Structure 1
């Protein structure tokens, strides 16, 4: 079981204990969408966004903030790595296929929400990013049950991989690394 699968189980269980109706997949998707939409890496905007969207605006418990901070930091580190080590926070491959498929839908929905919070002008985006966002919108609307079997496992694997690579594409094109943020002039009002 990789770190993201352990994170998925641990964080989702903690969220359920706090009666928060979200999964670790949805929250990591929200993080990636915010980062891919241009939120600075060191920003803590995600804390309020998570509280607003998954906890009815109520503050998150210290345990949840700590778990999500670890997930956020790990996600940022993976997105910055040049070795494509970024992994989606999804259930273990041994989980039922429909549970993994549902988590992927939640991840994509979280991404779309987070992206929309930080990027509302797609005119300067590449065609690849625009196409990925259109595909994400289609994926987020999928709700068919999948049958068990190698064919469906392969299809789910391919969609997960497409989502993973597309999220990295958005981050690489629109995200802001610490170096980029420092090179941008500060505006004074």
Structure 2
């Protein structure tokens, strides 16, 4: 699935596709999940609304690339992904999209990618909010429920076969995740960061 954004003025941003980012990551010998990377970026933006592009490149290099991002073949796409995602989260037209495989991709792979996306988001949030602060009453019940749901989705295993009902379930769950991301972004903006260790919220 292509990760796109809408703009009311100016030239539209170049969309970032799942396959294009996967190819650039493979060029450096890294079989990383584009969905998990986008989830991680989304989690960072939820937890740190003032995240800069340079901070994003440093964080993704440390967490995923394990090398300096400045000369990585995926750098231009990672910058565009940051620009698109940040803009989408700040708009009010609910145009945010998740970086997932195209709809004609095997359902099992799409489920796996959505699971990776949720895991990445939790990891991104946990760079600023540790498990102790999540367990406290700092967060509303709605937010705690969303994080619990994301944790459950992150642990879903893909199936070897699928049915029409499975396809409908995937559409419903992916749409829930997309809308829940907007809720998280808005709610976390009012919370001070906690003393944290970089641990994934599970």
TM category (shorter chain) comes to: 0.7 to 0.9
Please say which of residues 119-128 and 69-78 is displaced more in the overlay: 119-128
Greater RCO structure (CA 8 Å; 6+ sep) = 1
What's the TM-score once normalised by structure 2's chain length? 0.79
Aligned residues of 1:36 and 1:174 also touching (Cα < 8 A): yes
1:108 equivalent to 2:122? Answer no
The within-5 A match list for 1:134-173 is 134-145=148-159, 147-173=161-187
Corresponding residue of 1:46: 56
The within-5 A match list for 1:1-189 is 2-4=2-4, 7-42=17-52, 44-56=54-66, 58-60=67-69, 61-120=71-130, 121-122=133-134, 123-145=137-159, 147-175=161-189
User: Unaligned regions of 5+ residues in structure 2, if any?
Assistant: 5-14, 191-202
User: What is the deviation of 1:55?
Assistant: 2.1
Aligned residues of 1:15 and 1:21 also touching (Cα < 8 A): yes
What's the TM-score once normalised by structure 1's chain length? 0.84
Provide the rounded CA distance (Å) in 1 between the counterparts of 2:120 and 2:126.
10
User: Unaligned regions of 5+ residues in structure 1, if any?
Assistant: 177-189
Provide the rounded CA distance (Å) in 1 between the counterparts of 2:121 and 2:165.
26
Deviations 1:84-115 (A, max 9, x none): 00000001001110111111111111101001
Deviations 1:100-150 (A, max 9, x none): 111111111110100100223233222111111111111111114163332
Higher share of residues assigned helix: 1
Following superposition, which runs of at least 4 residues in structure 1 exceed 4 angstroms of deviation? 1-6
How many residues align structurally? Answer: 175
